[in-house]
Amino acid sequence: MLQILFYILIAICSFVFISGLIYRKISGVCTCTNQLTGKTVIVTGASAGVGKEAAFDFAQRGARVILACRNMEKAEKVKEWIVSSTGNKNVICHHLELSDMDSVRKFAKETIQREKRIDILVNNAGTFSGARQLSKQGYELTLATNHYGHFLLTILLLDIIVKSSPSRIINVSSLNHKFPGFDLDDLHFKRRTYGSVAAYRQTKLCNVLFTNELARRLTQKGIENVTVNSLTPGVVKNRNI
């Protein structure tokens, strides 16, 4: 019995040590202080977590920040917090339900009509569904929210982003994109047994593939002042952990 407890203790210590090494390697804090006065930034999913902190940082550096969120009550509270904390009153909230392509089109249309420029688009919002659900258009909900919605939003806003160059498109992915289980013939889990982790992982791979292809096509067209990147936020202490 003591021997078993000893091995368990060794395993726990090893896990903690390795986790610490990984955390130190992939974690970090943005220390950039470049001013963004005159720039307009859209952050999806800005009512909590990484999106909320990113929106705060952009506002702190003088940008006009658009909080694109599903829950407007939470978004308004975040807006009030950002304005009171930074003194930047140029922060606005607009409704965006990324799983609903009609909502995405409405948001994009109104944004183009209202805004003169879009300098930075941060496709951050995401969901992790415990059970298989379908979106309004009949897509698997995680895929619709994490990929299709952002894909459509980016394409609809691409002209104004290009006209605002130098500009950036940032797609928030995850290290989960590296894991196997991607099935192009069954993205909506109609045949496969649904798994929430597998569904999430494939959306993060879609984010990366879309980023790479969009960057390639822009370069091919000679558009060099629009930077398209994907990223993993690393180990982040947020509401999901």
Q: Please name the residue that has the structure tokens 């009509």.
A: 113
Q: Please name the residue that has the structure tokens 């969120």.
A: 69
The b-or-e profile of 92-119 (16+ CB within 10 A means b, else e) is ebbebbbbbbebbeebbeebeeebeebb
Q: Which two tokens stand for residue 175?
A: 């290290």
Q: Which of 7, 148, 194, 200 is catalytic?
A: 200
Task: Of 216, 21, 239, give the one whose Cα is nearest residue 128.
Answer: 239
Compute the Cα dihedral for 100, 178, 241, 239 and give only its sign: negative
Distances (CA, A) of 162 to 43, 115, 227: 17, 14, 10
Q: Collect all residues with Cβ–Cβ distance below 8 Å to 80 and sequence separation of at least 6.
A: none
- Strand 167-172 to strand 64-69: parallel, antiparallel, or no bridges (unpaired)? unpaired
200 has catalytic annotation: yes
Q: Which positions are annotated as active-site residues?
A: 200
